[in-house]
Amino acid sequence: MTKTALVVGASGIVGSATSTLLAAQGWSVHGLARRPAGQAGVQPIAADLQDATATAAALRDLNPDAVFITTWLRQDSEAENIRVNSAMVRNLLDALPKPSVPRHVALVTGLKHYLGPFEAYGKGTLPQTPFREEQGRLDVENFYYAQEDEVFAAAARDGFTWSVHRPHTVIGMAVGNAMNMGTTLAVYATLCREKGRPFTFPGSAAQWSGLTDMTDAGQLARHLIWAAETETAHDQAFNVVNGDIFRWQWMWERIARWFEVEAAPFDGTVRPLEQQMAEDAALWREIALREGLAEPDLGRLASPWHTDADLGRPIEVVTDMSKSRRLGFTAYQPTDDAFFALFERLRAERLIP
């Protein structure tokens, strides 16, 4: 029998990649979003998870074998992040009928589980790396913990299995996404090339010279489906990264060469992209109109605040995947290839020239 999947946040970086892979593997895929985008093989469901009544109405006839929660809404404070995002998970799981067949619910969070929320990101007592899943929660409010608790409570009530997936920075394709380093760097490099500016690393010395890793959206999609289909992976939390490690001083040069721009030597000064790109909206619109690009609004493509947060950390950040490897997940994705594939897709879809 064909399995049914509900992908929550289907128009985002992770959700769209997961929906595509599920459809390719023969699942019947339903994609929930506030404003669903047309996607081959995905049946759209329009719903605002903040509205419990509307969510229940939208999902009343769906009894999925697997649910993939890949969305969240950024708020002005961590208290509001907790209130809004925990309610969204609660409304979703309350809206679904109690499963009549085995059901698995996968929740995507991230490394802020170890680093703390944006308000305290990389501050105070810094955690030991590589991050491992047995490291407990920090003694600080964190909306990831609140989301997990909603999943755990619903699982105890309704009897489904669950998994939590903690990627590092995700590389993938989505317009209007709040956390999109790959597209942000592509847009920044394009602006540098346009004006002959040096391609200047925006982050910290620790990130420039230390080791790091990242997570391709396709790699994360494979991990999500693997956990749903692997009994020994049920009721577990997992880190998920590409499997390679690199230093930004190496990756920055590779990205610069792809865009045919000059990578400026890093002198130890933090130069955030939010400052570097603060006055670039009009320039981007000019480029988009001249080149016939699909998105002239810089704010819908670039998220410099998030790239600054990742590249400005005062410690190197690497992630251990031994737990997944021991249970049989062996997929691997070179991170530079993930960047280059994204850049090619952005160009093919007329989002960069």
The residues that are catalytic are 112, 144
DSSP code of residue 100: S
Closest alpha carbon to 44 in 89, 7, 14: 7
Closest alpha carbon to 296 in 286, 280, 281, 285: 285
Q: Would you say 152 and 107 are in contact if contact means Cβ atoms under 8 Å apart?
A: no
Q: Do β-strands 211-212 and 246-247 pair in parallel, antiparallel, or remain unpaired?
A: antiparallel
Q: Could you tell me which residues are beta bridge partners of residue 7?
A: 31, 68
Question: Residue 67 to residues 1, 14, 96: CA-CA distances in angstroms?
Answer: 17, 13, 10
Question: Rounded to 5 degrees, what are φ and ψ at 5?
Answer: -120, 145
Element containing residue 8 per DSSP (H, E): strand 4-8
Q: Could you tell me which residues are beta bridge partners of residue 30?
A: 6, 43
